[in-house]
Structure 1
């Protein structure tokens, strides 16, 4: 059953035949008492009457808010109004109520504990994506990954590339995304070590093991990265390809056939720094420094953290990090994802940012000053040239990762002058998107390309890291606007994370096999999110197998559907979810 019912008060008071349809958009989790607290109300007709902020459960009116008209710009078709109730610090559960139309917002809370523990839901989704042993499904899959292509050995040679995570609703595995997810989780722990629980063991089963669950999940990634770097000059970058796309399937009953029968060996692609593709669609490639540098960063950071838990494993990670970084130095440039019979792939074209991050982490792990000097050189080369935040559009995953974590990693080990340079890189991107946000009723300035939610959570993370670097809190309202968009202050009034908040409107009909075949609703997964209509209308294979939940709320600018068939807006991604953990951990802190 579709989860969004609205609050009980609205259902009791609503009646048929009212003259005006009014829509509320508000963060359904809610606000901490000190937050800027804003919502948007919109309608096809002008709204003049005030809106009540209603305290639950007694339904007492706390304040009456006069809606402030907002320019609609390209969002068109509606009259938009801002509701600002930042002055309210009283805690509890609330709704916004418009008496003329007898309509209300979803329930939300004001509490200093509003976001406590939310990051654990994201880790639960990551466990669902595990390949090898999957604790959510309690099954083993893809232990025969894989058979080599483009490697130093003859094609079809067996190599052990089991483990890692399924990338999204499909069951491909990419070093492009796996390396970033691993590094991001490790940095989240480094920044917020007290925010993570210990409820599961290394296999993801419910059993405490004395290690925070975020590190258990990150180690799942580290173990895979170690496997993929088979020799000093070898690196596997992808398992499987779009031959995987044969409908929804449970991982241990994979019907894809890569030449060895169904549910058997899958292709394991080695990075070469050159274009690849077994059929007509060839990737572009100039090197492998993006993969090698990012993997080196994750392993070097992991080596420093794991000294506390397992020094032998820590040394193994450090040795591999050094080797990978050297491989990146020898092969500067980028390696992209591979496709087989479809034109879609990960189009990453950046690498200086990854080598900066790898060098910075290796300097911290070894104290070798040559790494520090190289990190600074890569930082200047990357600057904002690798960032989507100063552009109005980009190809799919062209500017990946969607935040340069190398700038933040390097910041703590450089002199004051270089610190200002790194701060400036982050600030320039923030200010560019902020300027774009002025034309949005929802205060968002990202380009709505495919996986726009990844951009949104990455921008929020950049705002958080900039604040930590500079101490400048002037962008706090902008940061909160990005957070609020993700949880309901958007045209559709929905959260972009499955199951969050549990009482709200969130994606249910997601493009994943566990939902479609097993009716599993796993919380914490970040869906791809809204996309420009101009892009959406040209994508192949999109279908709506159920009625649109938001027909009255759709606008001519961007589109979102909670529908299994809309893979472009409603497919949860592993890296998007992992890439939201710093943001979630930040807000989880008691303010």
Structure 2
């Protein structure tokens, strides 16, 4: 479990005592979340917080303060400030959110005390033992070497940078991150009766991609106006002012002098104050994720791929994030998403590198991810990712349930795609109410209704053992949506022209078959199977995607019915895809169907091939081909197209939130066009992929090659789960001496010829 510790400085009307009772804001089996807010009643140049619990904890996580001591067997924790957040002023409020771990479903009684200085308020005990507080999580081997200093409330952020190891600063450039910032002393340029002009010169020893400057005056001033930077806030006493970078002002190279000239006014008749300032880099994130542990000897670490792909979906979350959010640069967002009648439409996933919620591809992604779990649960269990996978798909399922507002009504999109695509910034900055689009009996959408029904049905199967009540809820909604989609026939993009430019549907008969197949698997009601067989399409499929489920229908029908008609359809699809068929192959072996999302299409077909192989269709051949397609994506060419996996991978995905600096520094179109790597690593994301000649351009503006999307990872992740399952069963091509890539043909059951 991860935690978030947030620091928010706000003005209070009057100071109160610093001894407080700390409320528990959330709790679960094995842990809890709490928030300790201390009013500051004296000037502090460093501080210590002591937290006392009525029961022992096994660990406490607080990433923007240092846990220095654990006393009384885990009942008392002593925390010290970081270097960058040590200054607190009278009238401020210091809020620390933290997460504790213990035994059972715990909600302890907590008291907190804050003291100025490095000293601690030792507990009243004659024999207390001290131990260093550590935390471990074998399921999520992520190392927090950085954290964001932000609140989880949209538009309420702090002026403190992420925390890292300390290095010296000064006029000599050193391209090493400095968490203490870069100091400067104001030079007085001009003074008059009520104001003055000052200059600050900083020498950052690292590249800046967004910054914050805190200016501290020796006496109060009424304002700061600067050509470089925008005023963000000031302290209640008028002595500390915070300036933040604008999108076109945030970039400075290591060694480049940064000069800020400003005008300010002081109160009454007097002399201009002196001032010092500190520049903080908000465009540097040293959060690192360690590879997942594996004992497999396979060529690639499938555990790590599953782990990081799930992290990618967590980075795509919209709405109010949970206490166990594992993505430190993400916060609450789009909390004003509502329907036409004020229905709550918060939650779900942002589709790609944008901030839109497109339900058609979202529901498809959930179905495919659930399919991979239903087929290969042992892969997730062995990798230690089962609970995380279920938590991952529950997030969009909960949102889709909200969208099903009536039996014959379903919201299918939130956001104006044209306007939102024009915004280059983190979703946390979106505070406007966004338009929503819904289908109903007068504006039907058979395709999206059936796809959402499929997602609910697949989800009901996935959750049946672990959460029967939730499984029942999903299945009830699946049945009603299936009835709705079957009763009113129309493409949703015809009913709702506003959704057409981005995810326009070309057919709905494949969704009629797909939705019916998933309802049958969830209910065993032969009515659904009969309906699925009505809409069977025997033609070779040129893709498996959010818009075309033809080949997935073929393989599911064969799995369920074992009829040669369905087997032949699957074979014909793969004759189309295999070498010698209609598909183009790159020189290094990628089955290449189209430029935009080339890896997505190959990975999706790899998943279907693996499912077909597990059902006895050309088992060795299909597994061999599928493995080569996935291995192409993860490193066989000497480059991994999965961000954060391997030694060489994309650094500049077309993705807003990971490209932007930490708040409150501004983002914008200038950040899109920078050549520097994204500020944050978008772990686990599969990018679109190379061109037909294996060429690849790691350029943020090139969405054809460097886009990411929820549907890109869905088939890929489930195919990885299938390969992991094969390894566990000792049936992997590597274990069968049938693993040579690039694929030409292989295995004793070849269909090429």
TM-score, normalising length: structure 2: 0.50
CA distance in 2, matches of 1:344, 1:436: 28
Pick from 388, 394, 398: which aligns with 2:542? 388
CA displacement at 1:377 relative to structure 2: 1.0
Task: Report what 2:274 is aligned to.
Answer: none
When the two structures are aligned, how many residues end up with a matched partner? 405
- CA shift in 2, pair 1:402/1:119, >3 Å: farther
Task: Report what 1:141 is aligned to.
Answer: 333
Q: How does 1:113-124 map to 2 (within 5 A)?
A: 114-117=300-303, 118-124=305-311
Report if aligned partners of 2:358, 2:412 keep a CA contact under 8 Å in 1.
Answer: yes
CA displacement at 1:176 relative to structure 2: 1.0
- Which is greater in Rg? 2
Pick from 419, 429, 433: which aligns with 2:573? 429
Q: How does 1:16-31 map to 2 (within 5 A)?
A: none
3-state SS of paired residue (1:140): coil
Pick from 595, 605, 619: which aligns with 1:459? 605
- CA shift in 2, pair 1:221/1:167, >3 Å: same
Report if aligned partners of 2:408, 2:440 keep a CA contact under 8 Å in 1.
Answer: no
Report if aligned partners of 1:199, 1:213 keep a CA contact under 8 Å in 2.
Answer: no
3-state SS of paired residue (1:270): strand
- Which structure would you say has the larger RCO, counting Cα contacts within 8 Å and 6 or more residues apart? 1
Pick from 488, 509, 514: which aligns with 2:657? 514
CA distance in 2, matches of 1:466, 1:444: 20
Report if aligned partners of 2:595, 2:705 keep a CA contact under 8 Å in 1.
Answer: no
CA displacement at 1:566 relative to structure 2: 1.1
Report if aligned partners of 2:595, 2:691 keep a CA contact under 8 Å in 1.
Answer: yes
3-state SS of paired residue (1:235): strand
Q: How does 1:1-400 map to 2 (within 5 A)?
A: 111-112=297-298, 114-117=300-303, 118-134=305-321, 135=325, 136=327, 137-148=329-340, 157-196=341-380, 212-240=387-415, 241-254=417-430, 263-271=431-439, 287-336=444-493, 344-378=501-535, 380=536, 382-384=537-539, 387-389=541-543, 400=547
Report if aligned partners of 1:248, 1:516 keep a CA contact under 8 Å in 2.
Answer: no
CA distance in 2, matches of 1:475, 1:185: 20
Do residues 479 (structure 1) and 619 (structure 2) align?
A: no
CA displacement at 1:267 relative to structure 2: 0.8
Task: Report what 2:88 is aligned to.
Answer: none
Which has the larger strand fraction? 2
- CA shift in 2, pair 1:128/1:199, >3 Å: farther
CA displacement at 1:440 relative to structure 2: 4.2
- CA shift in 2, pair 1:582/1:114, >3 Å: same
Report if aligned partners of 1:437, 1:444 keep a CA contact under 8 Å in 2.
Answer: no
CA distance in 1, matches of 2:451, 2:719: 20
CA displacement at 1:122 relative to structure 2: 0.5
CA distance in 2, matches of 1:244, 1:482: 34
3-state SS of paired residue (1:181): helix
CA distance in 2, matches of 1:349, 1:524: 30
CA distance in 2, matches of 1:188, 1:352: 23
Report if aligned partners of 2:516, 2:532 keep a CA contact under 8 Å in 1.
Answer: yes
CA distance in 2, matches of 1:339, 1:243: 15
CA distance in 2, matches of 1:336, 1:453: 26
| Structure 1 range deviating more: 173-182 or 442-451 | 442-451
CA displacement at 1:130 relative to structure 2: 0.6
Report if aligned partners of 2:591, 2:629 keep a CA contact under 8 Å in 1.
Answer: no
CA distance in 2, matches of 1:130, 1:142: 10
3-state SS of paired residue (2:591): coil
Report if aligned partners of 1:525, 1:572 keep a CA contact under 8 Å in 2.
Answer: yes
Task: After superposition, give the CA deviation of every residue in 1:278-331 in whole Å (9 maximum; x if it has no partner).
Answer: xxxxxxxxx522111111112112223322122221221111101110111112
CA displacement at 1:127 relative to structure 2: 0.3
Report if aligned partners of 1:302, 1:314 keep a CA contact under 8 Å in 2.
Answer: yes
Pick from 701, 708, 713: which aligns with 1:577? 713
CA distance in 2, matches of 1:406, 1:366: 17
CA distance in 2, matches of 1:581, 1:512: 19
Report if aligned partners of 1:353, 1:404 keep a CA contact under 8 Å in 2.
Answer: no
- CA shift in 2, pair 1:523/1:177, >3 Å: same
> Gaps spanning 5+ residues in structure 2: where?
1-294, 662-678, 731-753
- CA shift in 2, pair 1:403/1:168, >3 Å: farther
CA displacement at 1:274 relative to structure 2: 8.5
CA distance in 1, matches of 2:585, 2:710: 31
Task: Report what 2:71 is aligned to.
Answer: none
3-state SS of paired residue (1:120): helix
CA displacement at 1:389 relative to structure 2: 4.2
CA displacement at 1:213 relative to structure 2: 1.1
Report if aligned partners of 2:427, 2:657 keep a CA contact under 8 Å in 1.
Answer: no
CA distance in 1, matches of 2:538, 2:418: 34
Report if aligned partners of 1:180, 1:401 keep a CA contact under 8 Å in 2.
Answer: no
Report if aligned partners of 1:353, 1:406 keep a CA contact under 8 Å in 2.
Answer: yes
CA distance in 1, matches of 2:353, 2:441: 28
Task: Report what 1:527 is aligned to.
Answer: 687
3-state SS of paired residue (1:139): coil
Which has the larger helix fraction? 1
TM-score, normalising length: structure 1: 0.63
- CA shift in 2, pair 1:199/1:265, >3 Å: farther
Report if aligned partners of 2:374, 2:461 keep a CA contact under 8 Å in 1.
Answer: no
CA distance in 1, matches of 2:404, 2:659: 35
CA distance in 2, matches of 1:508, 1:273: 46
